[in-house]
Amino acid sequence: MLENTLIFSLSANKDLANKVASALGMEVSEVSLRRFPSGEIIAEPIETVRDKDVYIIQSTCPPVNENLMELLIFVDSLKRSSAREINVIIPYFGYARQDRKAQPRQPITSRLVADLLKVAGVDRVVIVDLHAPQIQGFFSCLVDELTAIPLLGHTIQKDLGVDTSNMVTVSPDHGGVNRARRIAEKLNTPLAIIDKRRTKSGSPEVMNIIGDVKDKDCYIIDDMIDTAGSAVAAAAALKQAGAKTVKIAATHAVLSDPAFERLSHSDFDQILVTDSIPLPSKFNSLNVKVVSLAPMLAAVIKRIQNGEPLSVVYEMYNN
């Protein structure tokens, strides 16, 4: 039990928030969240937050704009209710892929969202596996980026009983090499890289596989699975190159349409994700395993409140 601390949850991560609170010996504080016939939202705490340190657990996952507006409105209510410090835990940060101007007149929406959070009254943001780490620089408040890589590596090695002697860790593209390398080093496996290009229509096309995957158990490591187009193309390429099995581990299960149809007919033998985003029930029919971020997030909250470094939280996944 933490003194002078409250944990809140809005619509996006209720189960995760309950697990985090339970790990801390606390309960999630009540929120009044209503929608008017016009579609407007009002969100406010039921109990007093005056001079309290508050933590809100809310991913900006689909429906992205609804969840984002819930968060902004609730933060404003906390600020106007004299909360001492407002900490927002965003397991999945929506709009992270709009982090630069890819075309001349495009917005940089991830910067806009960062500004909105600060203006609303957020003092600290805790995020898990940003799509691009440099997004931290968009925030003018405190930012702590966590990673689920130690959790995923621990799960692959211990809970799933994978034979790492025949395993190859695979990066689905050049941008994800550092992420995949961390798993490869933890599990002491070789590393393979998929050389991927996108066609004019935006569809992923595998050009080459760098590394030996023939007769190997391949584990693709990625930060998210969205429409699953890239993931399915990578799995097919690995199987064509002679891979024995193909599995994937990703932090964020965004799973936008047509992800279910693609994954249902894919070459994946198993899918491993975290609960940064609630898994839609229809995916239970697939071979999907969900591991919880709750122990890590609970440890982070405790260490922030005690003024202790956060890097130590990963030690729980060392054994």
**Domain shared by 155 and 200, yes or no:** yes
Return the pLDDT at 199.
Answer: 67
- Those residues of the chain that have pLDDT short of 70 are 199-202, 204
Q: What is the pLDDT of residues 57-78, one digit of tens each?
A: 999 999 999 999 999 999 999 9
CB count within 10 Å of CB 219 equals 28
**Domain shared by 181 and 68, yes or no:** no
**Domain shared by 247 and 259, yes or no:** yes
**Domain shared by 143 and 27, yes or no:** yes
**Domain shared by 153 and 284, yes or no:** yes
Return the pLDDT at 222.
Answer: 96
Strands 124-128 and 142-146: parallel
Return the pLDDT at 161.
Answer: 75
Return the pLDDT at 201.
Answer: 63
CATH code, domain with 85: 3.40.50.2020
Overall residue count recorded for the chain in this entry: 319
Q: How many helices, marked H, and strands, marked E, lie in the chain? A: 8, 14
Nearest residue to 54 (alpha-carbon basis) of 78, 77, 25, 71? 78
Domain count, the chain: 2
Hey, is 203 helix, strand or coil? coil
| Residue 61, φ and ψ in degrees, nearest 5 | -95, 175
CA quadruple 134, 140, 141, 142: dihedral, nearest 10: 40
Return the pLDDT at 158.
Answer: 86
**Domain shared by 272 and 301, yes or no:** no
Return the pLDDT at 202.
Answer: 63
Q: Which domain holds residue 160?
A: 149-291
Nearest residue to 250 (alpha-carbon basis) of 207, 293, 282? 293
> Using CA of residue 61, residue 63, residue 65, residue 68, what is the dihedral sign?
negative
Rounded Cα gap, residues 198 and 208, in angstroms:
13
Q: Enumerate the β-bridge partners of residue 204.
A: 198
Mean of all residue pLDDT scores within the chain: 95
Q: Within 13 Å and on the Cβ side, how many CA atoms surround 131?
A: 16
**Domain shared by 180 and 200, yes or no:** yes
Instruction: Look up tokens 């819930």; give the residue.
Output: 70
Rounded Cα gap, residues 56 and 58, in angstroms:
6
Return the pLDDT at 46.
Answer: 97
Rounded Cα gap, residues 195 and 70, in angstroms:
39
**Domain shared by 108 and 174, yes or no:** no
**Domain shared by 204 and 164, yes or no:** yes
**Domain shared by 18 and 107, yes or no:** yes
Residues labelled catalytic? 196
| Contact by Cβ (8 Å): 249, 156 | yes
